[in-house]
């Protein structure tokens, strides 16, 4: 996805079908990501939540910038 600089995080997440998200990231996840990649996840990733009745709340990282897409790609490639 090619991100336009004039779009808000809300507009980008809505385009991706994300309804609930947080710009605050889990600190342990940020620390682990920064050990693997030099791209700062803060400002490039949001934590998206799937909220359904009678299901536990869980979150996943979602890119909101080109740098975020690269970061998630690098992290996915480092999973063994």
pLDDT for 5 = 73
pTM, two decimal places: 0.83
In a domain, 9, yes or no: no
Q: How far apart are CA 31 and CA 17, in angstroms?
A: 27
Q: How confident is the model at residue 42 (pLDDT cuts 50, 70, 90)?
A: very high
Owning domain of residue 22: 18-78
pLDDT for 80 = 56
Pick the closest to residue 1 from 75, 79, 67 (CA basis): 67
Q: State the total domains in the chain.
A: 1
In a domain, 65, yes or no: yes
pLDDT for 27 = 96
In a domain, 25, yes or no: yes
In a domain, 66, yes or no: yes
pLDDT digits (tens, 9 = 90+) for 15-41: 998 989 999 999 999 999 999 999 999
In a domain, 7, yes or no: no
In a domain, 12, yes or no: no
Of all residues in the chain, the percent with pLDDT exceeding 90 is 69
């Amino acid at each position: 996805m090619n991100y336009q600089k004039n779009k808000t995080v809300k507009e980008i997440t809505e385009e991706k079908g994300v309804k609930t998200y947080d710009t605050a990231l889990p600190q342990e996840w940020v620390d682990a990501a920064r050990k693997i990649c030099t791209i700062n996840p803060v400002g490039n990733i949001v934590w998206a939540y799937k909220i359904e009745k009678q299901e536990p709340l869980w979150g996943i990282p979602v890119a909101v910038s080109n740098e975020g897409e690269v970061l998630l790609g690098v992290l996915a490639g480092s999973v063994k």
